[in-house]
């Protein structure tokens, strides 16, 4: 089989399809390259290398990185890479290295400015990717296979039926028509190889026979299943309703069993629907085959490495969650912005079970679906598989298969149980009649008298209850209508919607209609606004989350009052968002309001009051007031005990962060080990919260110089978060940032820079260039560039980060002083000693005035000032600065830490 050799190449199309660099344009969907307006054809390997470089503009990519990226798993000489670069330069006309610069001793860097353009226009039918796709043609490298007819299209690809010219054997070829389609093909190959490595050949999984990702047009070759899809099979039978119910249930059992096998191998399907299930065997005894894993996901990416399977289609820059589920089978939690899980696949399976039972593939699982199923056990099975709350669904598809297979036995047990219950009820009723007969006469008179007195009041009360029930029903109908017609309908292709709309796209479509659709129900509108705000927050789009929540807060206050639970819940979320956006005064006002109200209503130790206190304490931390924050959290930890165990872990986690800033690192480590253990017990070891907490534990180990232990935690956190919340989620980017920072601490800026830059670029995309987290990453990227001798590139990045940090957090904030130190280091490298001197002297004075005297940040400033004084030939001052830094380092991280030893040597020299 032909292996794709660039795990980071055309399938990693990122968020836009067209790159402009120098005099060149590359269309990422068609893979057409134009140089100074002329179309240029590149061989596959140079094209892969160009895509790899465009993924990492302005980064030094080492030779090892390029060899592994373009020829994964193969041992090749550097001459292969040199020839590939030469061919690429020839195609680009880059003999003068104006586009790709050789970094001697390291690798190569794309230095031409790169801009990325969004273009939603469809690809023309004559593009290079579709070359030769016509009846009577041949797939590349398959001269004996003749394309007979196109049997499918869409989603970035075309599907053709092909026939062998001599034997008449039939196969199916799936071609990529753009980069998204190529990604789907590569993901399908990866998941097929994983399933095959787990089980070997299985009759219920569609077999992939070969693939080609080197010669255009790219394709995957699959076995041909004569029965077609479930849709086609049922149409030949006269419609699904014409198939006997017993046979439909047997199909559901088969489907549940193969899905359970995929999940057990660590594979999510993510697009389970009738058209992706093929039918082999005879018409009377159909055997199902599950196929089309092009939207799928690997639950454990590390397992691919253990099985030596290349991550084709699962590159770091690819947001594979944009390849999504068909709306009819979309689980509710996906609509709310959560990541796909086994439970979301089970929901789709539950919908298909329902459709099989009612005999209609077009029937949605709409409110009131229960009335269309007479069998109570089957109603229970559908409800268990497709429950709205994923926590209430079945834990695995195998359980559904077992329930359906034992349906007759369960019916007998249920009938026997009913008989026993009826006998018991008859006996109980007889006993009760005997015991109460004598009391009955005395009770009748009293009941009649009381009834006469209360009848008028009861009638009035019943009418009021009826009115309330009718109002509640109308409100519920309006909410369901909004969800069905304004949210889900946005993806219905039959109603003019877009079936490929992402979760964020659904929210964007529905948000403007919320006010008009629920105009008569302001309370419901506020609750929906809160839910949408939380969904935006979970997706990392904090500006839109704030916008939705601010509207919801105003509506909740107008309807229910400023002190209502709904208003306070929204205010609490807004307080958290304000903190994330460095709007400290806004955050304090919101948290203070929630705290005062809850304390008055429920007392100081109520869980809601404690949560608001947590927000106020974290505000002190974000403002750089670490001793004050630590004192508040120490009280909170004591008060949380016995009240809210999950809230306790949150307070302990924050206290550990405070300890790290106060050089109490061993205490922080011990606390974080307790936090991770408790969260794993309460929510599971793979819960995003438990995974994110591992980054703080890893930070504690990294500070102590226990780098291997820290690396294992950062890797575990990153892999787990990428698999659960996505590779561009803020939590995942935090883990990625720490992975790069660790490499920097270990003295490997070459390996650190790509990770740090990727974290920075994605944080900018998610939150904006001036967000506090983007500035954290900018500082580390600048640090890596300075260490690589690229201070001129670091300088504008650090200058902007410093300017915006001063504006947002003030000149005395500890994080501002950290960036100020890195900026000074860049100026020192550029021999701008006077500017660097001013920054370091000013920063040191501010740090000594505002930070605890033992703060490591003061040590960092002493070290950089010592370096500057050494270059200025002021040796006594240099020695004094180095010695001051050494004392702080020894106190904070120990005498044997590599940083302390380095400072000792510098001071002595």
* Residue numbering of the annotated binding site for ATP: 174
- Retrieve residue 369's tokens: 């679906």
Plot region of 509 (φ>0 → left; ψ -120 to 50 → alpha; else → beta): alpha
Task: Say if CB 369 and CB 350 are below 8 A apart.
Answer: no
> How crowded is residue 742: how many other Cβ atoms within 10 Å of its Cβ?
24
- The whole-angstrom separation of Cα 861 and Cα 823 is 11
Of 655, 645, 643, 641, which Cα lies nearest the Cα of 678? 645
Of the chain, the end-to-end C-alpha distance in Å amounts to: 60
Q: Report phi then psi at 169, rounded to 5.
A: -65, 145
Query: How many Å apart are CA 292 and CA 208, to the nearest integer?
Result: 10
Cβ neighbours of 832 (radius 10 Å): 14
Count of Cβ atoms closer than 10 Å to residue 372 Cβ: 13
Tokens of 808: 């947002």
Pairing of strands 157-164, 170-176: antiparallel
Q: Which residues in 759-777 are b (16+ Cβ under 10 Å) and which e?
A: bbbbbbebbebbbbbbbbb
Nearest to 553 by CA among 579, 532, 583, 581: 532
Measured CA to CA in angstroms, residue 572 lies from 299, 347, 559, 808 at distances of 33, 32, 18, 22
What residues contact 378, with CB distance under 8 A and at least 6 apart? 357, 407
Find the helix or strand (DSSP H, E) in which 109 lies: strand 107-110
Which of 96, 88, 114 lies closest to 21 in space, CA to CA? 114
**The length of the chain, given as a count of residues:** 909
Kindly list the distances between the CA atom of residue 200 and the CA atoms of 100, 364, 749, in Å, as whole numbers in the listed order: 45, 36, 42
Cis bond upstream, residue 217 (ω within 30): yes
Phi, psi of 36 (to 5 degrees): 50, 40
Determine how many CB atoms are found less than 10 A away from the CB of residue 282.
9
CA 900 to CA 182: how far, in whole Å?
A: 51
Q: How far apart are CA 21 and CA 35, in angstroms?
A: 10
> Do 129 and 31 meet the contact criterion of CB atoms below 8 Å apart?
yes
């Amino acid at each position: 089989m032909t292996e794709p050799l660039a795990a980071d190449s055309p399938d990693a199309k990122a968020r836009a399809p067209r790159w402009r660099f120098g005099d060149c344009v590359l269309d990422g969907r068609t893979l057409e390259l134009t140089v100074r307006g002329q179309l240029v054809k590149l061989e596959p390997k140079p094209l892969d290398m160009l895509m790899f470089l465009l993924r990492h503009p302005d980064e030094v990519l080492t030779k090892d990185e390029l060899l592994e990226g373009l020829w994964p798993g193969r041992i090749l000489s550097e001459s292969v890479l040199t020839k590939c670069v030469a061919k690429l330069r020839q195609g680009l006309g880059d003999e003068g290295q104006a586009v790709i610069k050789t970094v001697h001793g390291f690798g190569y860097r794309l230095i031409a400015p790169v801009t990325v353009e969004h273009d939603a226009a469809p690809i023309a039918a004559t593009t290079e990717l579709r070359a030769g796709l016509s009846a009577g043609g041949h797939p590349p490298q398959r001269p004996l296979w003749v394309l007979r007819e196109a049997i499918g299209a869409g989603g970035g690809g075309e599907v053709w039926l092909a026939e062998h010219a001599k034997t008449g054997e039939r196969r199916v070829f799936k071609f990529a028509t753009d980069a998204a389609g190529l990604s789907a093909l590569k993901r399908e190959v990866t998941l097929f190889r994983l399933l095959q490595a787990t089980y070997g050949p299985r009759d219920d999984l569609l077999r992939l026979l070969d693939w080609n990702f080197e010669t255009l047009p790219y394709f995957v070759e699959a076995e041909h299943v004569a029965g077609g899809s479930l849709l086609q099979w049922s149409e030949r039978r006269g419609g699904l309703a014409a198939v006997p119910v017993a046979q439909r249930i047997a199909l559901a059992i088969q489907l549940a069993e193969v899905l359970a096998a995929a999940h057990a191998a660590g594979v999510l399907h993510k697009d389970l629907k009738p058209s992706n299930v093929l039918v082999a065997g005879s018409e009377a005894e159909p055997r199902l085959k599950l196929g089309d894993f092009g939207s799928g996901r690997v639950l454990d990416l590390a397992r691919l490495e253990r099985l030596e399977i290349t991550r084709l289609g699962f590159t770091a820059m690819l947001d594979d969650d944009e390849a999504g589920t068909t709306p009819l089978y979309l689980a509710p939690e996906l609509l709310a912005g959560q990541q796909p899980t086994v439970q979301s696949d089970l929901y789709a399976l539950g919908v298909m079970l329902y459709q099989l039972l009612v005999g209609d593939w077009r029937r949605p699982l709409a409110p009131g679906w229960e009335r269309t199923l007479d069998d109570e056990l089957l109603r229970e099975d559908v409800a268990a598989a497709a429950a709205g709350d994923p926590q209430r669904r079945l834990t695995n598809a195998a359980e559904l298969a077992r329930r359906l297979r034992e349906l007759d036995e369960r019916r007998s047990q249920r009938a026997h149980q009913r008989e026993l219950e009826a006998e018991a009820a008859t006996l109980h009723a007889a006993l009760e009649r005997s015991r109460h007969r004598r009391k009955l006469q005395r009770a009748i008179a009293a009941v009649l008298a009381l009834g006469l007195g209360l009848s008028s009041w009861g009638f009035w009360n019943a009418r009021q209850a009826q009115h309330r029930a009718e109002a509640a029903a109308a409100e519920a109908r309006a909410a369901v209508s909004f969800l069905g017609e304004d949210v889900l309908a946005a993806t219905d292709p039959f109603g003019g919607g877009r079936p490929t709309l992402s979760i964020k796209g659904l929210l964007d479509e529905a948000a403007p209609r919320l006010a008009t659709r629920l105009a008569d129900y302001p309370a419901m509108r506020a609750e929906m606004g809160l839910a949408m705000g939380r969904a935006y927050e979970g997706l990392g789009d904090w500006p839109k989350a704030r916008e939705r929540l601010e509207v919801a807060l105003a509506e909740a206050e107008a309807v229910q009052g400023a002190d209502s639970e709904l208003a306070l819940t929204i205010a609490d979320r807004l307080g958290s968002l304000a903190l994330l956006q460095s709007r400290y005064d806004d955050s304090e006002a919101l948290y203070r309001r929630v705290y005062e109200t809850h304390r008055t209503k429920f007392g100081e130790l109520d869980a809601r009051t404690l949560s608001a206190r947590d927000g106020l304490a974290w505000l002190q931390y974000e403002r750089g007031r670490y001793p004050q924050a630590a004192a508040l959290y120490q009280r909170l930890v004591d008060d949380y005990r016995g009240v809210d165990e999950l809230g306790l872990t949150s307070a302990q986690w924050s206290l550990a962060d405070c300890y790290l800033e106060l050089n109490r690192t061993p205490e922080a480590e011990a606390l974080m080990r307790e936090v991770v253990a408790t969260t794993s017990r309460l929510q599971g070891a793979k819960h995003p919260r438990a995974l994110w907490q591992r980054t703080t534990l890893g930070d504690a180990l990294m500070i102590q110089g226990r780098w291997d232990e820290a690396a294992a935690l950062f890797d575990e956190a990153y892999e787990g978060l990428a698999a659960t919340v996505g590779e561009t989620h803020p939590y995942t980017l935090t883990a990625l940032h720490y992975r790069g920072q660790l490499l920097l601490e270990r003295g490997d800026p070459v390996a650190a820079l790509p990770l740090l830059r990727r974290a920075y670029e994605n944080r900018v995309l998610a939150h904006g260039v001036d967000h506090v987290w983007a500035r954290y990453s900018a500082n580390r990227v600048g640090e890596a560039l300075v260490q690589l001798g690229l201070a001129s590139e670091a300088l504008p990045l650090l200058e902007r980060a410093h300017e915006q940090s001063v504006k947002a957090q003030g000149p005395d904030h500890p994080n501002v002083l950290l960036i100020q130190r890195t900026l000074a280091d860049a100026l020192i490298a550029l021999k701008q000693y006077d500017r660097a001197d001013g920054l370091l002297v000013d920063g040191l004075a501010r740090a000594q005035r505002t930070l605890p005297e033992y703060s490591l940040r003061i040590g960092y400033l002493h070290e950089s000032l010592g370096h500057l004084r050494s270059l200025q030939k002021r040796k006594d001052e240099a020695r004094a600065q180095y010695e001051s830094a050494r004392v702080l380092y020894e106190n904070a991280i120990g005498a044997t830490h590599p940083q302390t030893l380095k400072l000792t040597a510098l001071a002595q020299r």
